Structures are given as C-alpha cells and as structure tokens.
Amino acid sequence: MGLFFRKSRQFSLLIFSFLSFISFGFSLSTVSISETSNLTLVCALVPSLELHRSSLNCSSFPVPGIQIPFNPNVSFTGIVSGNGFLCGLRPSFSSSNISVMHCWRFFSNGTKIEFKRIYRGPALKQLEAGNSIICGLNETNALECWQWPEFNQPRDQNFSAIAVGEGFVCGLSAGGNISCPGNFPGISDKEPEGNYSVIAVGFSHACAINADNYLVCWGKTVVGDTPQGKFNALALGQNRSCALRTNGTVVCWGQNNFSLPQELEGLRFITIKAKRNVFCGVSAWDFSLFCWGDANFNSNFKVFSEVLPGPCRNTCPCGPVQGSGRFCSNGGSICQACIIPFGPITPSPPSAPSPQPQNRSTSNDLNGRMVAFLVVGCVGSFSLLLVVCFFIFRYCKGRGCRVHDSGRLDETGAPANGVSNQPQTSQAPLAPAVLEKRLSQLTSMGNTGRLEEFSLEALIQATNNFSEDHKIGSGSFGSVYKATLDDGRDVAIKRAEITSTSSYAIGTKRQEDKDNAFVNELEYLSRLNHKNLVQLLGFCEDFNERVLVYEYMNNGTLHDHLHKFQNSPFMSWAIRLKIALDAARGIEYLHEYAVPPIIHRDIKSSNILLDATWTAKVSDFGLSLMGPEDDESHLSLRAAGTVGYIDPEYYRLQQLTSKSDVYSFGVVLLELLSGCRAIHRNENGVPRNVVDFVVPYILLDEIHRILDPRVPPPTPFEIEAVAYVGYLAADCVRPEGRDRPSMTQIVNSLEKALTACLLPPSFSRSTTQSST
C-alpha cells in the first residue's frame, strides 16, 4: 500500500490532466454497493479476461456468501444496487436505443438468487438506486422508477439529473434548480435555491454542488460540519458523507467524527459511491476500487484491482481514454480527453438552505456554470449529472398526476416513506405504452402468473449447455430441449437458431423491428391461455439468444404415437376422436377467441402434443415472426407449413386464411383415421399423399377399407361416428377454402362424433357439409 501511494504521487501530473477530461453522459455507474442484513456486497464492472469485454464481479463482506450467477459473456453498461438487490443495465442485443435492466435479488443467507427483468425500453442515460428503490432517466430526461408503488410519474416533466435516496428522489432542472418532490421530511420543500450542477442524496439528507463548485447540504439528519473547498462529486450515506474535491482527493465527514481513513488521504479518485455506511471510490491512478466506512474494510481497502472507470460508449466527443478499448466490446470505449482551459472561477459560497434566490448576471452565470459543467464532467462522476434541462416537478405536486405502473422486483417491496401525497388508489390508465416497455410490465413481479423471464445461465445449467442429451426435437423455430428447472418444474425449451453474427449484421432499424416483433409476440402469446394450447411459461432474451420456455408435455407428439410407437394407447377410436376434438378446440380458440386471431400456419400431427393426462394441446402457434430470419424466404417458408399439410389453395393464391389451418387439420384427421403419414409410400414404394389416397374411399362410403388396421374395427356404434369424422375430414381438405368448415363447426361435429362413439348412435351423418 505504501509503495502504491508513493507511486501515485509521482504521477500526479498525469492524474491532473486526467481530471480535466470531460465525459458526456458519464452518468451510469460501474460500481455499486448493496447490503443485506449482515453482508455487504460490492460489485463492479471489471475488465474481463477476454479482450474488449468487461464483466461483472462482486465481492461480499465480511465473508463470501452471495454468489450472483453471472454469465461472464454479458457486458453491462451500468449497475446499481440496494438492500438485497443488484441490477445491471445493458443495451438490447439488437439496438443500443433500447436498454434492458436485469435484476438479481438475494438474501444474506445466500440461498436463492432470483432473477428478473424489470425494464426494457428506451435507453436510460442515468440509473440510480437507493436502498430500496430504483429510478432512471431516459434520453429525453423522463423519470421512471421501479419498486416504488406510490411513485407518481410527473407528466411532461423532466430532470437533467437525479439522485435517489431512501424513499425519495431529488432532481436538477434545466436551470440547475433542485427539487425533491413529495413530502419527505427535512428534504422536500427545504431545497436550497440557486443553480446547482451536482445533486446527491443519502438516507435522509441531501447535498448539492453549485456552479462554482461549492457545497451545500440539508436534510433531516445533516451531521457534522460541511467541509469548505471546491468539489466535483458527492457520495452520501447514512448520517455520513464524502465529497470529491476538484483536485481529486476525498474528504469525509459525519456522525461520530467520520472521516476518510488516513491511508486513503491524498489518493486521487475518479468517482465515489456510497450506500449507508460503506463508501467506495475508483482510484484515478490505476482504476482500482477502494472501499471504506465500516469494519469490513479496515484492514484492506482494495476490493478490486481494476474496474472500469466509466461506462463504455460508442462515441466520445473528445476521444476515448487511452487504452480503454480493451474494456469495451463492439468498438466502444470509455470517454475522456476533452482538455479544457480552466477559466477563472469567481468564488461565491453557496447560499444556506432556503436562502434568497440568486440573481446573477447571465454572462457570469453562464461562464461559471460552463466551467463547473466541464469540471464535473472531467471527474466523471458516474452518478452525477452534467446538464440541465427542464423540469416542473412541483407542478405535479398537489395535482392529479398519473400513478406510474412501476415494475417491482419484489411483490412485498417496502413502500417508500411518505413520498407521495397522492391517493394510491388513483389508478389512472397507463399512458400509451411504449412498445418496449410492455415487456417489463409483463414480467414485472406485479404481474406474476404471466410471463416469466429466465436467465440464460439458469437455462444453460438446466440443459447442460443445450446438450444433445437434452434435445427432444427441432422445428422451424430451432431446437427443443427438455429440462428440469431448479424448482422441479419440467419444461420444454425452444432455442431459436440465430447465428452469432446475424443480430449485429442486420441494420439497426431492421433489428429493432425484429426485436419489437419478438416482444409483440411474447406479449400476445402470454395472453393466450387455453387448456388445449401448450402454455408459454416464459422466455429468455440475451445477446444472441431467443429462448422460449413452455410447459413440458410428458407424452410426446401425436405424430410419434401414430407413426412411431408400437404400444400406443391410441388404439381405440374413442381415444382418437377425443384427441382430434382437443386439438380442434385449441385451434378454434386461436381462430375465434384470440384477439387478434391467430392463423397457426403449421398444423400437423407433430405439433399436437400430449400431456400427462393425455389431453392434446396445440403447440408452435404464434411463432410466425420468430422463425428463421432473413428476407422473404422467412415468410414463404414459415407460411408454407410442412409438406403434406400445406393448403394447396394457399399455395396457389399466396393468401393465408384460417381455412388453411382447416385444411392442415383435415390432414391430421386423415392420419388419425388411416394411420398413414401425411406423405407415405404405397405398396410399390411410390410417395403418396394421404389426401389423395384416403379421400376417394371416404367419398365412396368405403372408409372401412382405409381405417388404421392396428385399431380394432369399429364397434357397431363406433362405425357411424368414425364414418362421420371421415366425411368431416374430406370436407376439411376440399380444394376451395370456402367449401371447408370453420373450426367451430369442426368442434361441434367432433363433439357429436365423440358422444356417438361412447354411446349408442343417435344421429345421422347427413350434414357435415358447410361453408362460410
């Protein structure tokens, strides 16, 4: 340690120039501190072993105890954490204009780590977390908060920078005015007047740095004397604070004469963070991370030997930090290097809390603020904010602002303390949801029972890295794997085959469209719920991965039972009709009750699955936009369905209607009756279509000649039902779509047939003919 400090002084010149860098939008954090009852977890984005990448590393104190299951391949752009949770932000795999936030919730006993995506939407430029709540700003300075049910999202109001405390949020307006909306005692309505460039909050106090780098603090518990001097950045904990001086050193103050440990005095930092009693800073000298503030760090302050000093960005207005390309993927780098001439700064101590409004000359003001802006940028305080837009949070106070449907990590998340004076019941309708936002609403804990998001790690683990042993099939969407999740559930995992390059190779706009399409479909599919449809449980979207998780169907596919297995329980006409009715009901639901209706496009016996109770369920619906990518081939390929089941009219006219599904279902009925595959070989080995083979017999009233010989011949009261279904099947495969029955008519017919099959006959087969 001693050696280290000697070295660091030698390089003070270098560091000084480092400090005069400016970094636009340098407001995502690469360091986070969180706590559970008895453990402190310090996380940071660290350079990964692989070049051009960073990965998340965490260290828990005083003992290892919390293991977050990371995928080292996933790079985050920023992280935040609080009591029992850690969230990471990264661009969507397809578009940097979309941010995705994943969170892990953990407990100090180290038991279960829960994973959740709580946001997917417009890119966030700032993300901050208190001990329990998380808030972010998007590129247009709109505030959004999570885990904060009482949070009232201001309408048309913007912050240029925010700081998140224990149940409250403070922000800076475009003009640099501070506002801490709500009625948090000692904080709200006690905001100092004037123009500020940096805002920070602790548990129950707040501090701000004005345009001239002077510090002011206020709050319920401001403990200790605010230090004098010029500052660039702040880290506030509980009854304790630290500030980063313009010369890069740190000063701390607070309850019980809190101060910076002697060993760290004189060390220059780039950025500092705090949570409750723990403070951490990134050394300007070698990017190592030091933490202090409680007994855990008394003997060894260094937590990580190298962390990313800031988030990776695609463009740096003033060029990247030398060598920071090694930290970042896709050509990104950590921004720096706008060396700015320091103008004279007129000293003007900040006004005390609630002083007179400051009326300075515009030119002075501009000059001073510009310098402060640059200096603040230089020091690159992740969490501190550069600029200033417009905001009218006060406007919202006392008015009926809409209740924000905030995503929740935890259903029982602690409500914020007296933040809101709005009635919590005023559930105004959601604003027109940004498409991307909807997914996070779907998956947020507030909507349990809907879609679940799985972490890629969990799925990799459950499938032994998608091993062949787990593979149970492959289809248009990709490969299907069987897995048993941690909680014991058996699931089927469909993994799209997306080549690793494709998601980046395609134009951004195009990718965005695809991305949106994926979200659209998931949202839509999550609403489909019918006992004869295979239920979508959740999904996983990771950089190059699109994975869907379905309920597992123990008894496999109808296709295998008809064409592969020798000892199938399907050797009775009543059972076959029951299966047909189940499947027809599932398809009917898609056609008639789903809004908007779904045309399946690929009905076939291998897409009809059987659960443990031998209920048949239709699978693979709604995958039209998730199939193989690329150009027109996709549409035609998907829509064409499977050889043997394709509606010839669709083939001819290229016009898809629900009657195409009816045709394919007719082929399935013919399979059930004859036991022949859709395309099979005749006695002479010549390929033959089941429609061409079977329908002529049905129309000649000679169905008994083509019935599956493995099934005992129909009993006298089965025969009429089976013949009736034969006519139904022949109707389904009529060449003209308009001559075919609708799925509802098919369901009704099959119901009658099944009843007849189980009871002595009581109906005639005269009226299966139907049209629309």
38 binds ligand NAG (CB under 6 A): yes
Per CB under 6 A, the segment of 106-114, 525-533, 631-639, 660-668 that binds ligand NAG is: 106-114
Single residue of 19, 89, 124, 142 touching ligand NAG by CB under 6 A: 142
Single residue of 132, 160, 226, 239 touching ligand NAG by CB under 6 A: 239
Among 97, 756, 180, 705, residue whose Cα is nearest residue 417:
180
Among 678, 645, 677, 679, residue whose Cα is nearest residue 660:
645
764 binds ligand NAG (CB under 6 A): no
Report, in Å, the least distance between residue 63 CB and ligand NAG. 5
- State whether the Cα torsion 762-764-765-767 is positive or negative: negative
Among 628, 367, 331, residue whose Cα is nearest residue 496:
628
Rounded to whole angstroms, the Cα distance separating 635 from 528 reads: 23
Facing residues of 240 across strands? 254
Cβ distance to ligand NAG smaller for residue 519 or 575: 519
Report, in Å, the least distance between residue 254 CB and ligand NAG. 9
Single residue of 4, 11, 96, 138 touching ligand NAG by CB under 6 A: 138
- Enumerate residues 6+ apart whose C-beta is below 8 A from 716: none
DSSP structure string for 612-659: TT--EEE-STT-TTTS--SHHHHHHHHHH--TTT--HHHHHH----HH
501 binds ligand NAG (CB under 6 A): no
Cβ distance to ligand NAG smaller for residue 440 or 660: 440
* Active-site residue, selected from the candidate residues 405, 515, 602, 661: 602
Whether 602 is a known active-site residue: answer: yes
122 binds ligand NAG (CB under 6 A): yes
Report, in Å, the least distance between residue 199 CB and ligand NAG. 20
Rounded to whole angstroms, the Cα distance separating 656 from 640 reads: 9
- State whether the Cα torsion 359-362-363-369 is positive or negative: positive
- Asked if 218 and 187 touch (Cβ cutoff 8 Å), the reply is yes
Rounded to whole angstroms, the Cα distance separating 591 from 661 reads: 9
526 binds ligand NAG (CB under 6 A): no
Cβ distance to ligand NAG smaller for residue 249 or 520: 249
Per CB under 6 A, the segment of 33-41, 332-340, 357-365, 394-402 that binds ligand NAG is: 33-41
Cβ distance to ligand NAG smaller for residue 249 or 351: 249
259 binds ligand NAG (CB under 6 A): no
Report, in Å, the least distance between residue 402 CB and ligand NAG. 11
Per CB under 6 A, the segment of 105-113, 333-341, 360-368, 738-746 that binds ligand NAG is: 105-113
Cβ distance to ligand NAG smaller for residue 456 or 577: 456
Number of residues that bind ligand NAG (CB under 6 A): 30
Cβ distance to ligand NAG smaller for residue 496 or 691: 496
If DSSP codes are grouped into helix, strand and coil, which group holds residue 584? helix
| Amino acid, single-letter form, for residue 295 | A
**x/- track of binding to ligand NAG for residues 449-478 (CB under 6 A):** -----------x------------------
What number of CA atoms fall less than 13 Å from residue 231's CA on the CB side?
A: 32
Single residue of 120, 245, 559, 561 touching ligand NAG by CB under 6 A: 245
Cβ-based burial of 394 (10 A; exposed 0-12, middle 13-18, buried ≥19)? middle
Single residue of 14, 17, 139, 421 touching ligand NAG by CB under 6 A: 139
Terminal CA-CA length for the chain = 84
Cβ distance to ligand NAG smaller for residue 114 or 523: 114
**x/- track of binding to ligand NAG for residues 292-321 (CB under 6 A):** ------------x-----------------
Report, in Å, the least distance between residue 266 CB and ligand NAG. 5
417 binds ligand NAG (CB under 6 A): no
Cβ distance to ligand NAG smaller for residue 90 or 740: 90
If DSSP codes are grouped into helix, strand and coil, which group holds residue 663? helix
In 617-770, alpha helices (H) = 631-640, 648-653, 658-674, 690-699, 716-732, 743-758
Cis before 62 (ω within 30): yes
**Beta strand pairing call for 490-496 and 478-484:** antiparallel
- Asked if 41 and 60 touch (Cβ cutoff 8 Å), the reply is yes
Reading phi first (left if > 0) and then psi (alpha if -120 to 50, else beta), residue 186 is in left
Report, in Å, the least distance between residue 187 CB and ligand NAG. 14
Residues 39-78 that bind ligand NAG (CB under 6 A): 39, 46, 57, 59, 63, 65, 71, 73
- Enumerate residues 6+ apart whose C-beta is below 8 A from 566: none
227 binds ligand NAG (CB under 6 A): no
Per CB under 6 A, the segment of 34-42, 336-344, 645-653, 730-738 that binds ligand NAG is: 34-42
User: Does 617 show up as a binding residue in the annotation?
Assistant: no
Cβ distance to ligand NAG smaller for residue 139 or 286: 139
Cβ distance to ligand NAG smaller for residue 157 or 532: 157
Reading phi first (left if > 0) and then psi (alpha if -120 to 50, else beta), residue 373 is in alpha
**Greatest C-alpha distance within the chain:** 105
543 binds ligand NAG (CB under 6 A): no
Q: Could you give the C-alpha distances from 21 to 35, 332, 339, in angstroms and in order?
A: 33, 17, 5
482 binds ligand NAG (CB under 6 A): no
Single residue of 266, 353, 415, 473 touching ligand NAG by CB under 6 A: 266
Cβ-based burial of 736 (10 A; exposed 0-12, middle 13-18, buried ≥19)? exposed
535 binds ligand NAG (CB under 6 A): no
83 binds ligand NAG (CB under 6 A): no
Single residue of 183, 249, 755, 770 touching ligand NAG by CB under 6 A: 249
Tokens of 598: 């779904």
Q: Which residues are catalytic?
A: 602
User: Which residues are annotated as part of the binding site for ATP?
Assistant: 494
Annotation: binding site: 494
Residues at the contact surface with ligand NAG, assessed by CB under 6 A? 37-39, 46, 57, 59, 63, 65, 71, 73, 107-109, 111, 122, 138-140, 142, 221, 229, 238-239, 245, 247, 249, 255, 266, 304, 460
